[in-house]
Structure 1
Amino acid sequence: MFYGEKLRQLRELHGFSRNELAQKLNVSEQTIGQYENNQITPRLDIMRKLPEMFSVNMHFFNTPSFIKKDVILEGSIAYRTKDRNSRKKINNELEYLTYSKTFIDYFESFVTSNIGGFELLKQKTNEIQKNSFKISDVASFARSFYELKSNEDLMSKLEQSGITILEKDLGDTIDAYSGFTKDEKPYIVLGNFKKTAVRRNFDLAHELGHLLLHSYIVMNELTNREHTEVEMQANEFASSFLMPKLEFEKDFNSIPRKTNPDFYIKLKKKYMVSIGALEYRAYKLKLISYQENRYFWSQMTKKKYRELEPLDDTISPIKPGKVRNLLSFLLENKLITVNDLIEKFGIKLEFLIFLFDLKIDFFDKYCDKNKEVTKSKYSNVIDFEAVRNQLCR
């Protein structure tokens, strides 16, 4: 039996409309709809193309769907303005989060880890918001809660607190989005399209702001004006969180020429944010005048720093590490095997490489013990020694 629901899920997971998939398979859009609604079964030549196209096995479509249904609260997802009115985009990302959570829940079912803390942070920040309307107060508490000394550690700190951070191709116009699953698990999804390390840091802080400030808001019911206000609040949170007021004021006042972007490079190294974000923070704190602000941005344009700032091409972005580290731990300790994954879910390894943005050779060492594994810069989020201790009890 052919399960058309699984074809729809894969189509949306890969970002295809019915028409786009129809063109790839050289059939009509109506035919794709009939496949998905179980009105007709694909011809043999189509059945041979689908597994190759979606990195699944031949029998994948002959078994019921294994993903959990309705696990994501659509209204909680903080899309950027350009994406919130695109039904296709929303369906694609909901499918992506649903698939991701299904696999992550499966991986986590094998271990007990010491990851957590976000729930407590959320509770505390809710209390702060009841007594204060200042976003800066929430940001200051959050930074203290995470004991964040260097912004370079932000990715690891967020993952260690229980936020699942994923990375995927969101296109060249989308930075990131965030939201909660129905079991109240926080997720942040980052775009991987030419993102600099400092802009990624700001994206992370921006999405943390949404998770802490706006979980009670039904995002898809906001007007465009209300949505813009919510985005501005998240930006204010990120700025205050990454550049604490007193420390930043002291550092900024040591700059000899506040209108010259080149004098911001030292602060960029320290705070791991863009030169533009540094100047904007200073301007909002009234450390720089309106005239100085205008001259600064004219210099940014003249030096072509709006396109590429100094250090942007030398500081490597840190990639999310939770899922990669967890999967590595399970495979290395033989809690699961490559064959388990292939047989249980009816997928090829390329499916997981696509889903979790893994390196193309990620599974090589688990298939061929003689191969070397390339090293990359990932956050270290799982205390494997603690996990091992749990398993040995």
Structure 2
Amino acid sequence: MNHKQVTFVREFRGISQTALAKSIEGLSQSNLSNFEKGLSTLSEDLKQKVVDKLQFPKGFFELKINISIENKHYRKKATIRKAIVDKFENFCKILGYVVDEMSEYVEWPAFRLQPLNVEEGYTPRYIANYTRKLLRLNKSEPVANIITLLEQSGIIVYELAEDEKFDGVSFITDKGFAIIVINKNFSNDRKRFTLAHELGHILMHNEFNFPISSYRDEKWKEKEANEFAGEFLMPEEAIVNSLRNLKISDLMVLKNYWLTSMSSIIRRAFELGLINKDRYTYFAIEMSRRGYNKQEPGIVYIDNPVCFKNGYLLLKNELNYDVEDFIEIFALPKDVITDIYSFVPTLKALN
């Protein structure tokens, strides 16, 4: 039994060390704590009781899942309980593990984008425009089918329906597959920006490609990912003239064309120096007065992720796998298999 997997599953189930220890006769919290740290062992009887209590197949506890959820963006992170964060991030790790296991049967699209090292002088703006060239996007056109472009480029997009807790995360699986998880419940323009933001992380901040200096902390990387997203979705060369002398009445037209939010268009004008701070503040006040800071008018288009779903359908329809087959192959319990393939799951369903 891999002691790290016990911590992994316990946190996924939302059970504290104290609660788990109290529920198992003969197991103390200190013994469980030492076991999870790798400092002691448990009897075979206690191990089996832990397995039974956590309701995961025994084989899952023998795995080594080393996926790291480095790039993540939460809404009002300070107010989110650690247990919620642990559950969400462990769900993402299970998703990554499932993608890796499915790769034995499914040929995922090859990664065909080019990571570039910002520490070697490549700016987020340059990387964004270089990526647009790789994707053969016209300089003056919006990124219309953003999810399709990403999935065809070897990035699996997965939607998870949740409240305001998170925007999105990106990570690389143990076998090297890139995944972006986004919040299904957010507006399409917000999902599009999140996808571009997370793409920036994958291309600039993946330590599998090059080492990231310690001074480039989370705040720094978030700023770079936002710069990338702004240029990727709204290239300066193409949008700059439209943002001169920007007025509130211009925002809907620009939103409909670039498929981005009004607020991101205002922010883009400020970033490019086309409006000053006073004008930016005016726009913020006016957006709030009209209620646009809570819900903007207009719905922009976004396509749907299909890569992961198609992989599932291949196993289900062409190889005739049922739930019991998935349980055996992945060493995951039925509730997790059902949730991860539910299209679209919620964290609440994982309680």
> What TM-score range do you get, normalising by the shorter chain?
0.7 to 0.9
Residues 319, 30 of structure 1: CA spacing in aligned structure 2 closer, same or farther, 3 A cutoff? farther
Q: In the alignment, what sits opposite 2:10?
A: 11
Map Cα deviations across residues 115-167 of structure 1 (whole Å, 9 max, x no partner): 2243x522xx34x974x443211111111212245434111211221123333
Cα offset for 1:271? 1.6
Q: In the alignment, what sits opposite 1:41?
A: 46
Residues 1:329 and 2:325 aligned together: no
Map Cα deviations across residues 301-329 of structure 1 (whole Å, 9 max, x no partner): 11111111112xx4576553221111012
Q: In the alignment, what sits opposite 2:236?
A: 245
Residues 80, 16 of structure 1: CA spacing in aligned structure 2 closer, same or farther, 3 A cutoff? farther
Q: In the alignment, what sits opposite 1:292?
A: 279
Contact map agreement 1:150 1:271 (CA 8 A) in 2:
yes
Residues 17, 168 of structure 1: CA spacing in aligned structure 2 closer, same or farther, 3 A cutoff? farther
Instruction: Find the aligned partners of 1:20 and 1:333 in 2 and give their Cα distance.
Output: 43
Residues 47, 233 of structure 1: CA spacing in aligned structure 2 closer, same or farther, 3 A cutoff? closer
Residues 1:258 and 2:246 aligned together: yes
5+ long unaligned stretches in structure 1: 361-393
Instruction: Find the aligned partners of 1:42 and 1:134 in 2 and give their Cα distance.
Output: 51
Residues 208, 15 of structure 1: CA spacing in aligned structure 2 closer, same or farther, 3 A cutoff? farther
CA RMSD of aligned residues (A): 4.0
Contact map agreement 2:128 2:228 (CA 8 A) in 1:
yes
Identity of aligned residues (%): 23
Instruction: Find the aligned partners of 1:331 and 1:184 in 2 and give their Cα distance.
Output: 24
Q: In the alignment, what sits opposite 2:171?
A: 179
Contact map agreement 1:264 1:278 (CA 8 A) in 2:
yes
Contact map agreement 1:167 1:357 (CA 8 A) in 2:
no
Map Cα deviations across residues 279-299 of structure 1 (whole Å, 9 max, x no partner): 111122233343322221110
Instruction: Find the aligned partners of 1:6 and 1:330 in 2 and give their Cα distance.
Output: 26
1:1-393 equivalence runs, <5 A? 7-19=6-18, 30=29, 33=32, 38-39=42-43, 41=46, 50-51=54-55, 60-61=57-58, 63=59, 65=61, 67=63, 69-73=64-68, 77-80=70-73, 92=87, 95-112=90-107, 115-118=109-112, 120-122=113-115, 125-126=116-117, 130=120, 132-148=121-137, 150-168=142-160, 172-192=164-184, 194-216=185-207, 222=214, 226-253=217-244, 258-260=246-248, 262-311=249-298, 314-315=299-300, 318-334=303-319, 336-345=321-330, 347=332, 349-356=334-341, 358-359=343-344
Residues 4, 269 of structure 1: CA spacing in aligned structure 2 closer, same or farther, 3 A cutoff? same
Q: Give, as a single letter, the amino acid of the residue that structure 1 aligns with 2:110.
A: G
Q: Give, as a single letter, the amino acid of the residue that structure 2 aligns with 1:151.
A: V
Aligned length: 331
Q: Give, as a single letter, the amino acid of the residue that structure 2 aligns with 1:271.
A: W
5+ long unaligned stretches in structure 2: 346-351
SS in structure 2 of the partner of residue 178 of structure 1: strand
Between 1:318-327 and 1:344-353, the stretch displaced more is 344-353
Instruction: Find the aligned partners of 1:29 and 1:168 in 2 and give their Cα distance.
Output: 36
Instruction: Find the aligned partners of 2:147 and 2:96 in 1 and give their Cα distance.
Output: 19
Q: Give, as a single letter, the amino acid of the residue that structure 1 aligns with 2:148.
A: S
Instruction: Find the aligned partners of 1:22 and 1:357 in 2 and give their Cα distance.
Output: 32
SS in structure 1 of the partner of residue 170 of structure 2: strand
Map Cα deviations across residues 212-256 of structure 1 (whole Å, 9 max, x no partner): 12224777x846x84322211111111011001122124445xxx
Residues 275, 20 of structure 1: CA spacing in aligned structure 2 closer, same or farther, 3 A cutoff? farther
Instruction: Find the aligned partners of 1:134 and 1:322 in 2 and give their Cα distance.
Output: 30
Contact map agreement 1:155 1:320 (CA 8 A) in 2:
yes
Between 1:272-281 and 1:320-329, the stretch displaced more is 320-329
